[in-house]
Chain A
Amino acid sequence: MSRFLPSPILSLTLLLIWLLLNQSIAPAHILFGSVLALVVPLYTAPLQPVHSGIRKPLVLFRLLSWSLVEIIRSCVNVSRIILFQRQQINSQFIRVPLDLRNPAGLAVLSCLINSTPGTVWVEIIPETHELSLHVFDLHDAAWWVATIKQRYEQPLLDIFEAEAK
């Protein structure tokens, strides 16, 4: 972007956070929040190596709402298992080969996977670029791989790496 406004979304978020913290939209708060929103991105710009624009907001919105539904669904599943399952729970590490390379995309993916109860991201194995994942109650590893690739990775590829294809 321009020289004085390196990342408009960050500035807007900062202003919003400032107003929320003070719980008012008085002119003084808006003024000071705008000063913060202008100055802080300028000073933190050297720290931020990843510049990635969001290309398809609609796809991002659909991904987020779908994962919200998924979070609630797997919450119910996990609590049912904790309460009622007496026999052995089949917890496993699985590996998912990833095509996504964009750091911002990977960060979003890890946040979504970790927010969903029942799956925890372990790490990306550097040699093969595979994602190692721990699943709480594993029935079918192939289903998990397919779900993650279709439901999470494909929208993120569309959002963050659209022009690479």
Chain B
Amino acid sequence: MMQLPESLPLWLGIPVVLLLLTGSIITLIGALGLYRLPNFYQRIHGPAITITFGAGCFLIASMLYFTGLEQRPVVHELLITAFVLLTAPVSAMLIMRAAVYRDLRNERKGKELSENLHDNMHQ
């Protein structure tokens, strides 16, 4: 089971709990958006809130909690924060460009296909 300390000061506990609750609800909403929205170009906006706000809340909560627990500043979660902030936009942009590219290509292919069919029927 969980290994929690015997006591936690109130000034540390309240922000950690609030950040955990906010982060988890935001993450859930992001995944719900991924599941519920009707088409791809809308779906890509759902996980964005998970990545920025949910991850931010969790990382700050973890930083606060371990700083209080270890009695020394624990700030190495900043590394993950920086990494996520730098890489998430890149992956979102690449997926978006791939989707646009594929849709354009399918459109072109579909047009060629229907033209071919049209020609074949008239021969």
Contact with B along A63-85 (1 / 0, CB 8 A): 00000000110010011001100
* B44, B48, B92 — most chain A CB neighbours (10 Å): B48
Give the distance to chain B from A112, nearest Cβ to Cβ, in Å.
8
Residue of A nearest to B85 (CB): A115
Q: Is B53 an interface residue (CB 8 A)?
A: yes
Contact B53 A71 (CB under 8 A): yes
Q: Which of B8-16, B34-42, B107-115 contacts A (4 or more CB under 8 A)?
A: B34-42
What count of chain A residues pass the 8 Å CB interface test?
A: 27
Residue of B nearest to A132 (CB): B100
Residue of B nearest to A92 (CB): B41
Contact B45 A117 (CB under 8 A): yes
Note all chain A residues with C-beta closer than 8 A to B89.
110-111, 113-115, 121
Give the distance to chain B from A68, nearest Cβ to Cβ, in Å.
9
Which chain B residues numbered 62 to 116 have a C-beta less than 8 Å away from chain A?
Answer: 74-76, 78-79, 85-86, 88-90, 92-93, 96-97, 100
CA distance A117 to B88 in the complex (A): 11
Contact B32 A123 (CB under 8 A): no
Q: Is B20 an interface residue (CB 8 A)?
A: no
CA distance A118 to B85 in the complex (A): 16
CA distance A110 to B44 in the complex (A): 16
Q: Is B60 an interface residue (CB 8 A)?
A: no
What count of chain B residues pass the 8 Å CB interface test?
A: 31
Note all chain A residues with C-beta closer than 8 A to B76.
20-21, 23
Contact A20 B88 (CB under 8 A): no
Give the distance to chain A from B33, nearest Cβ to Cβ, in Å.
4
Contact B49 A117 (CB under 8 A): yes
Residue of B nearest to A121 (CB): B93
Task: Give chain A's interface residues, CB within 8 Å of chain B.
Answer: 17, 20-21, 23, 71-72, 75, 78-79, 82-83, 89, 91, 110-111, 113-118, 120-123, 134, 136
| Chain A to chain B: the 6 pairs with minimum beta-carbon distance, closest first | A114-B89, A117-B48, A82-B33, A136-B45, A75-B53, A79-B29
Q: List 28 A-B contacts (CB under 8 A).
A: A17-B79, A20-B75, A20-B79, A21-B79, A23-B76, A72-B53, A75-B52, A75-B53, A78-B46, A78-B48, A79-B49, A82-B32, A91-B42, A110-B89, A110-B93, A111-B90, A114-B93, A115-B89, A117-B45, A117-B49, A120-B45, A120-B92, A121-B93, A122-B97, A123-B97, A134-B96, A136-B42, A136-B45
